[in-house]
Structure 1
Amino acid sequence: MNKNNGTYIIVTWNNEKEIEDCLSTVSRYSPKNSKVIVVDNNSNDRTVQIIKEKFPETELIESKENLGFAAANNLALENVSSEYICYLNPDVILTEDILTPSIEILEDQSEVGLVACRLKNKDGSNQPSCFNFANSWSLPCEILHIGAVMPRSLRKKYFLNYYKTNDDFKPDWVIGAEMVMRTKDARAIGGFSTEYFMYTEDMDLCKKISVILKKQIYFISGVSLIHLGGASEAQNVNYNKQKKLFQNDMIFVRKFYGEEEARKTADYMAKAYSMRKLLLKIGYWKKNRKYQIEKNNVAIQLINEI
């Protein structure tokens, strides 16, 4: 295996608006001898053309079909010859070297299996990127925003989506917009799980690192990058996406905790949304009140369907 500084793995699908900024900043802030592999999931825009014309040094794999996020990343992993990899979304913009400090942690701490840096919005504000694994406790708590009223000490353990810190720490899982791993570890767990076509693959990957490798996830607080999709994804609550998220949560819970826990999780989520609906009706009077209630009703319907 060639010990260069690492290989960035990027999966694209109709990313003509983002890919140039992404690859330009990867080139600008990459350590010497690092490599980039892009797998394009059969884009029908100018993504492939932009890569070929402006970034000829990039190893481009053109799929004839949309393989999905997981399978496309795994295809790139087969072609990696470096000791380290960095999974990177095409809608990120680097503002500093993220690879070197991540590799240093992996070299110094054998118990760490994955390192992630802080994600920021384009305006410089922080994006939530560290979470607890989905189960019958964490998902209802997220629905009811219980972490918002909990003390900081409890947030760090049980309510990570509300935990804000300037210190490094080890969460359950991190958003997959940027992840650095040892190549051998990624291969040992089979890369991303392909039962998820989109969403939840990052949580599943982190869980496999914990269960199979017995290793931890490490969050670097002082190194950051911009994730453009974070803000828009937070606003995207359409029916199909929410249905897919619920379905994938159930796949995850069933896979790692069993059928009984999956049934309990769905039941508790439905009860949490019913309670949230009541709270919205009696105590929520912001302008988007009607929208929030409608969104809540859709969630209850979807949970009943799964």
Structure 2
Amino acid sequence: MKLSVIILNYNVRYFLELCLKSVEAAIANIDAEIIVIDNNSPDDSCDMVKQLFPAVKLIENKENLGFSKGNNIGVAKAKGDYLCILNPDTVVAEDTFTKLIKFTDSKENLGIVGCQLIDGKGKFLPESKRNIPTPKVSLKKVLGSTNDYYANHLSSEDTGKVDVLVGAFMWLKKEVYEAVGGFDEDYFMYGEDIDLSYKIVKAGYYNFYFGNTTVIHYKGESTLKDSKYAKRFYGAMQIFYKKHFKQNLIFNAVVWIGIKIAQFMRKNPEDEDVTLNKCYLYSNDFDTVEQLPKPLQSEATIQGNVESNSMIVYDFELLKASIVMADMKQKSKQENIVFRFLLKNSKFIIGSDSATNRGEVLHF
């Protein structure tokens, strides 16, 4: 088998459905399997998977075991030569995996490959490619300078070597994952992707950022920025430094400052509600969306220009994910544009405009 897609889920049933539909389309011509590990979600995620995706291998944990242990359980069941560690709050393009197979099959000493991630507003996520967060780099980031934290020697569209990739999307050979012991289970959530990336670099492999394919990552679903997040994140960084660097007073100060700053800066100005003046529906199904904002303009094809302060609804029955993502990136340059997806054979519209709060699901 060529590929195993590993998806660790916790309590994001509707985003998981969207993710799985995109993955199914992306593996249509690949010898692949999908493994979903559910960390005891209180919603109906597992029932949804059983009903709508019977071919998916579902592992139901009886408690929330965290990111590292949950993914390790899934990888232990995987049969693919390659692994794709994938968040449930993501959308992959139809050609994402085929492009990565072509790219990585010719590489020697390959570690992790990451790709271009955008958020629910179509904006590039700079954490798609990062440098090793040394104490000096971390201190600069806390003080507001991210030049050394992110791998800015590459543009979002470039491809090249980087040190650290993000756990929302990690592509690597299973044998490499196993060679370094997989995710370190000392981490419950946050930091494990940095740790795995660094372990692989130290083992002599090369990590790559591949900018020729795009994946949507709805950050607010898996990374809620509250005080608990701040403590867990900086606690994870403490684990990382104890394992890989000499502990020092500077880093302890960075951790303390970081927690305090995160507690005061949880509200992002970009996450303010947008007053919508118009809605564009790109669909052939015009009868099931009476709850959409008015005035509503329905089109069967994507338009180049839209008004600011608008909602755009893409119908995945009509449009490919790769076309949608390209359009999102283009329209995200306009002021106050929000995006929603109408899923194939589903009766809800979904999207997220925030990196700090849950997304929105509109049933109809």
For the aligned pair, the TM-score class normalised by the smaller chain equals 0.7 to 0.9
Q: Matched residues in 2 for 1:272 and 1:56: separation?
A: 44
Q: Any idea what SS the aligned residue of 1:208 has?
A: helix
Query: Could you say which residue in structure 2 is the equivalent of 1:192?
Result: 183
Query: Could you say which residue in structure 1 is the equivalent of 2:11?
Result: 14
Q: Matched residues in 1 for 2:43 and 2:255: separation?
A: 39
Please say if 1:254 is aligned against 2:254. Answer: no
Structure with more strand by fraction: 2
Deviation at 1:134, TM superposition (A): 2.3
Query: Could you say which residue in structure 1 is the equivalent of 2:192?
Result: 201
Runs of 4+ in 1 over 4 A off after TM superposition: 161-164, 231-234, 268-274
Q: Given that residues 114 and 170 in structure 2 are in contact (C-alpha distance below 8 angstroms), is that contact kept between their aligned partners in structure 1?
A: yes
Q: Given that residues 39 and 73 in structure 1 are in contact (C-alpha distance below 8 angstroms), is that contact kept between their aligned partners in structure 2?
A: yes
TM-score (norm 1): 0.79
Gaps of 5+ in 1: 148-154, 281-286, 289-306
Q: Matched residues in 1 for 2:259 and 2:145: separation?
A: 13
Against the structure 1 CA distance between its residues 233 and 50, is the aligned structure 2 distance closer, same or farther, given a 3 Å change threshold?
Answer: closer
Q: Given that residues 13 and 45 in structure 2 are in contact (C-alpha distance below 8 angstroms), is that contact kept between their aligned partners in structure 1?
A: yes
Q: Matched residues in 2 for 1:232 and 1:77: separation?
A: 23
Q: Matched residues in 2 for 1:239 and 1:123: separation?
A: 24
AA in 2 matched with 1:16 = R
Query: Could you say which residue in structure 2 is the equivalent of 1:146?
Result: 145
Alignment partner of 2:251 out of 250, 256, 265: 265
Q: Given that residues 42 and 66 in structure 1 are in contact (C-alpha distance below 8 angstroms), is that contact kept between their aligned partners in structure 2?
A: yes
TM-score (norm 2): 0.67
> What is the aligned length?
262
Query: Could you say which residue in structure 2 is the equivalent of 1:29?
Result: 26
Alignment partner of 1:183 out of 162, 174, 179: 174
Q: Matched residues in 1 for 2:222 and 2:81: separation?
A: 32
Deviation at 1:81, TM superposition (A): 1.4
| More deviation, 102-111/249-258 | 102-111
Q: Matched residues in 1 for 2:5 and 2:85: separation?
A: 6
Please show how residues 281-300 of structure 1 align to structure 2 within 5 Å.
Answer: none
Q: Given that residues 11 and 69 in structure 1 are in contact (C-alpha distance below 8 angstroms), is that contact kept between their aligned partners in structure 2?
A: yes
Please say if 1:78 is aligned against 2:76. Answer: yes
Deviation at 1:267, TM superposition (A): 3.0
Deviation at 1:112, TM superposition (A): 2.1
Q: Any idea what SS the aligned residue of 1:174 has?
A: coil
Q: Matched residues in 1 for 2:149 and 2:21: separation?
A: 36
Deviations 1:139-162 (A, max 9, x none): 111112224xxxxxxx4xx34265
Gaps of 5+ in 2: 270-364
Q: Given that residues 103 and 180 in structure 1 are in contact (C-alpha distance below 8 angstroms), is that contact kept between their aligned partners in structure 2?
A: no
* Superposed CA RMSD: 2.5
Q: Given that residues 12 and 221 in structure 2 are in contact (C-alpha distance below 8 angstroms), is that contact kept between their aligned partners in structure 1?
A: no
